[in-house]
Structure 1
Amino acid sequence: MRLSYSALETFKRCPLKFKFQYIDRIKTPKSKEAIFGTLIHNTLKILHEPGLTIPTEEEILKYLADNWDASIYASEQESVMAFSQAVKMLKDYYAKNYPGQFNVVALETPFEVPLMAGSDLHIITGKIDRIDKTPDNLFEVIDYKTTKKMPAQEIVDKDLQLSVYHLGIANRWPSISQEKRPIKMSLYYLKHGEKLSSWRTPEHLENTKETVIKSVEGIARAHKEEKFSATPNPLCDWCEYQRPCPFFKHKFVEEKLFFNDQDVKALINQYATIKKEIDEKDDRLSEIKETLNKFMDQEGMESLFGDDGYLVRSVIQRFKYDADLLRQILEPLGRWPDVLKVDDAKLKKVAKELPRDSRAKIEEARKLNKEYKTFLLKRDKGKK
């Protein structure tokens, strides 16, 4: 199987989007955010390309202006605002990162990482924005980000993208691993003018391989079972596959939909109204319970009487058993297996620490026990 890091990340976030994009290959227009990011990346590539002269700030901004596509924005005002943001990003970057002070080894470098999962060979591909050689003879990988949010350092330290890039570098230049040289991995957040760095060592390589292989096996399993589930996540509002997605396709139906002669949209509105009333009543009920509990504790009462009936308070207790003692009692009677139950949360935690073959066997032992459907009411952005 040949997969890019982007494909791995897409499957992790939403398997159905992975299917639409990488299996069905449904073509969609590039988003304005993606076009914006590509132009910024191309501009920075030109800035750092080796040459007899270093591009001036004016030349860089001219390249931006010459390649700007205002038609992708909803209005002229939106285009002007986005262009101003791009100019600010590049000016701030140029002021802090004059090209002459860096030893750039490679730009837009493609890589491939062969990984074996059992008898299956998988190739992980990607492209690294920039690779520098630092004054202390180490390599630094730099990936540009045009996103608005900047993550915490601990997230950068665990970032899988950087770890996969580390695999790519180690495969491209094996001597780095052989000499046990660490690699500096950096994410440059252009909107904030901040570079967040983390280190990867040869010891990290095996852990990264295990993580990636586990992801690839998940994709292979989804292929085999033909099950790519839609997974709601914070990026759904910007997803280009909303129309075929079961969570959004009703949004694009123009005619009224009826079920058993009932207007579906009217039912949704009724559901939202009733749900709001229930939530408000639940909040009030919690307040009343808290007040009555305090009163009953204070007065030493366990029942309270009103005009329409009376309220009786009861205490519900849950106990934990000493597992060893319980086993000593039940095992001789042949009843110990009857009370054992697999704890799903604990099993997942233990499985993470097991060898890949053992994890695969545990996965094969998993059977669907029950399934139920529930509703989650979400408000449209901009609506109250």
Structure 2
Amino acid sequence: MTDTPAATTATNSTTATDPAGPGDGAAEAPQPRRRPALSPSRAGDFKQCPLLYRFRAIDRIPEPPTKAQVRGTLVHSVLERLFALPRGDRSPDRAHELLAPTWDELSRESPEWAELFAEDETGPDGNAVGWLDGAGKLLDAYFDLEDPNRLDPEACELHVETELGSGVRLRGYVDRLDVAPTGEIRVVDYKTGAAPRAIGEAKALFQMKFYAVVLWRTRGVVPRQLKLMYLRDGQDLAYTPDEDELARFERTLEAIWSAILTAGRTGDFRPSPSKLCDWCAHQALCPAFGGTPPEYPGWPEPTGGEETVLDRAD
């Protein structure tokens, strides 16, 4: 798909799960409970290690954010704000100007992120100034891959949600959705993380197919292109799915959710040791490392698969 302008521009999406406002003079109505759902991050967790899924989706054990995760969130936020500007104003200089105020806002909302930096720490990411410079380099790499003045996305950071015929509810956030005047859809995802390329790419394609299924079921259109933009190394990957492939992937998601529900009934979320354990924050609680998980609290209601903003940054 070439860079063509979309017919409309938006930056956010609401869904039918949003609570209605209070009536005239009446007490505020209770907010509806959201049904348990599957997100691409939580589906990936279960595929990688069922116990990791439990720790994140059910026990909701806090994990310390990494500087790479927070930087990914910052870069995503800057790119979202960049596309809110009119064409012609989306320049590298303007993106760099957005860095500091965007970081100030994010760090006010999540003060623990600012605590990651010690003024006397050495290295390029040791303090906030050097770390911001690294974020600026990622933005420069973005402009090497694409001219944002050539397109107007339909949406950035778009919340998408649907329920399959089998009853599985899918929920996630798309970094950017481009829709051409001809109706062709392109799903764009920015990658800034430091995961090993082979593992990270497989995980990213799983995520993109997840979004493609949701968009196919909500809009009746198979996305023309799934585009991954790797800002760290200045490369991109484009993939074109077809309807048969998405139907098969849909069955894969249904199988994953069925396995999650089976484990959820019994609490039998077993660890699955792999090289990825080196990056896991929960080794002290994992039986594979001599730990003991907390007592199983039971299947969570009403959620069971929410993504965090750090999940979406990747």
Does TM-score exceed 0.5, indicating one fold?
Answer: yes
Do the aligned partners of 1:45 and 1:107 also contact (CA within 8 Å) in 2?
yes
Q: How far off is 1:113 after superposition?
A: 2.4
Residue matched to 1:84: 133
Check if 1:131 corresponds to 2:177: yes
Mapped to 2, the partners of 1:227 and 1:6 lie a distance apart of 20
Residue matched to 2:150: 101
Check if 1:57 corresponds to 2:92: yes
Could you tell me which amino acid in structure 1 is paired with residue 207 of structure 2? Q
Unaligned runs of 5+ in 2: 1-35, 105-112, 292-314
Matched residue of 1:235: which SS? helix
Do the aligned partners of 1:54 and 1:99 also contact (CA within 8 Å) in 2?
no
Mapped to 1, the partners of 2:49 and 2:93 lie a distance apart of 42
Mapped to 2, the partners of 1:27 and 1:157 lie a distance apart of 22
Cα distance change on mapping 1:2 and 1:148 into 2, 3 Å: closer
Mapped to 1, the partners of 2:122 and 2:168 lie a distance apart of 46
Mapped to 2, the partners of 1:25 and 1:137 lie a distance apart of 40
Residues 95-142 of structure 1 show CA distances to partners (whole Å, capped at 9, x for unaligned) of 44222112311111111121244xxx2211000000113476521100
Could you tell me which amino acid in structure 2 is paired with residue 47 of structure 1? L
Q: How far off is 1:161 after superposition?
A: 1.3
TM-score by length of 2: 0.68
Cα distance change on mapping 1:35 and 1:73 into 2, 3 Å: same
Residues 325-364 of structure 1 show CA distances to partners (whole Å, capped at 9, x for unaligned) of xxxxxxxxxxxxxxxxxxxxxxxxxxxxxxxxxxxxxxxx
Cα distance change on mapping 1:86 and 1:158 into 2, 3 Å: closer
Cα distance change on mapping 1:62 and 1:140 into 2, 3 Å: same
Higher strand share: 1
Of 190-199 and 131-140, more deviation after overlay is shown by 131-140
Check if 1:4 corresponds to 2:64: no
Mapped to 2, the partners of 1:157 and 1:228 lie a distance apart of 21
Residue matched to 1:224: 265
Residue matched to 1:271: none
Residue matched to 1:213: 254
Residue matched to 1:25: 60
Check if 1:199 corresponds to 2:240: yes
Matched residue of 1:112: which SS? strand
Cα distance change on mapping 1:6 and 1:158 into 2, 3 Å: closer
Do the aligned partners of 2:141 and 2:234 also contact (CA within 8 Å) in 1?
yes
Mapped to 1, the partners of 2:75 and 2:205 lie a distance apart of 22
Do the aligned partners of 1:185 and 1:199 also contact (CA within 8 Å) in 2?
yes
Q: How far off is 1:184 after superposition?
A: 0.2
Q: Following TM superposition, where does structure 1 have runs of at least 4 consecutive aligned residues deviating by more than 4 angstroms?
A: 134-137, 149-152, 155-158
Residue matched to 1:381: none
Structure of larger gyration radius: 1
TM-score by length of 1: 0.57
Mapped to 1, the partners of 2:284 and 2:46 lie a distance apart of 19
Matched residue of 1:240: which SS? coil
Matched residue of 2:188: which SS? strand
Mapped to 2, the partners of 1:149 and 1:18 lie a distance apart of 19
Residues 61-107 of structure 1 show CA distances to partners (whole Å, capped at 9, x for unaligned) of 13223416664146243335543322211112224422211231111
Cα distance change on mapping 1:249 and 1:30 into 2, 3 Å: farther
Mapped to 2, the partners of 1:201 and 1:238 lie a distance apart of 34
Q: How far off is 1:234 after superposition?
A: 2.5
Mapped to 2, the partners of 1:95 and 1:205 lie a distance apart of 31
Could you tell me which amino acid in structure 1 is paired with residue 83 of structure 2? H
Residue matched to 2:21: none
Matched residue of 1:72: which SS? coil
Check if 1:169 corresponds to 2:215: yes
Do the aligned partners of 1:156 and 1:198 also contact (CA within 8 Å) in 2?
no
Unaligned runs of 5+ in 1: 251-384
Could you tell me which amino acid in structure 2 is paired with residue 93 of structure 1? Y
Identity of aligned residues (%): 29
